[in-house]
Amino acid sequence: MKYPTYLRSGGTIGLVAPSFGCSVDPYKSCLEAAEKRFEGMGYKIVEGPNCRKNEGIGISSTPENCGKELTEYYCSGDNDMLITCGGGELMCESLDYVDFEAVKSAKPKWYMGYSDNTNFTFLLNTICDVASIYGPSIGAFGMEKLEPALMDAIDIFTGKKQEVSGFDKFELESLKDEEHPFVGYNLTEKKELRLFMGEAEVNRVPEFSGIITGGCLDCLANLVGTKYDKVAEFNERYKDQGVVWFLEACDLNVMSIRRALWNLDRAGWFKNAKGFIIGRPLCAWKQEMMGLDQYNAVTGILGKYNVPIVMDADVGHLAPAMPIVSGSLTTVSVGENITIKYK
């Protein structure tokens, strides 16, 4: 695995929009506020051509334009790292226009994004053997006051931290809208981890480690069996370390979560699993359908591996989320909270 250089003082952050762009409020205002914040911290900002566009279907521009922007900005020497403008719906369609050979040959740089950006954060790991950051899009840094989770993300890509932990509370409903683009998280819910070994719920799980990878299940399930599915090769490369999987869901209901996991499991993705970190699901939170909930939707498929499964973790769409250094050698410790150490 190749690890990018940390962003240095005075470095340049490139912004790209392979998924949604920041064309309307609150996203446009948040983008501009975030740019001012990073410039005030001494960094330079360069925007890709699609960052303020809304010309595509589920993404900022055409798949061709999005793939071209992503390739050129990743391979360019004019920026030191990339942060995505946002999530979206159909970034998968741009993959045919990303030159993965050029990306693989380029000097590694941090790429940070989540949700639909799984289509690049995950493939950087499995195709290019390059680490990435599953973390916030640029607009999140436009808040009036940076939340601790956002400070963690900055500390990760600047090299100030190699360890992150979860948080005490989380939000179910964001207060951000066009009239209030800069508000912080609406932390109304107490975070409580649920721990499993196999299908049995337990009070504690042992520490576990391996190469961490994963992302949004909505995206990962679409990649199975395509020419972009290089997980078998990834598993072979890292069979000695094993794999820690982090997974979270956006639009999927509990049935869809179970089907997606079944799909990945039958494709052999989890053969070297050392443990699972499962984030709070956005649409399936506390959902029950025909005897299935967010917990047995997962354990019913993954329980057979008899490894730790940490559920309702601070990963994904229900903020705050820990930044995940996807592709790193990772040790996970769990008590009342979860701590992830990256090496």
Q: Which residues are catalytic?
A: 115, 248, 317
As a whole number of angstroms, the distance between CA 225 and CA 263 comes to 10
Secondary structure class of 36 (helix, strand, coil) = helix
Written as six digits, the tokens of 338 are 């979860």
Q: 321 by DSSP, 3-state: which?
A: coil
DSSP letter for each residue of 248-285? E-SS--HHHHHHHHHHHHHTTTTTTEEEEEEEPPSTTT
Pick from 29, 14, 3: which is nearest to 124 by CA? 3
Q: Which residues pair with 226 in a beta bridge?
A: none
Residue 13, phi then psi, degrees to nearest 5: -100, 120
The DSSP code sequence of 80-94 is SEEEES---S-GGGG
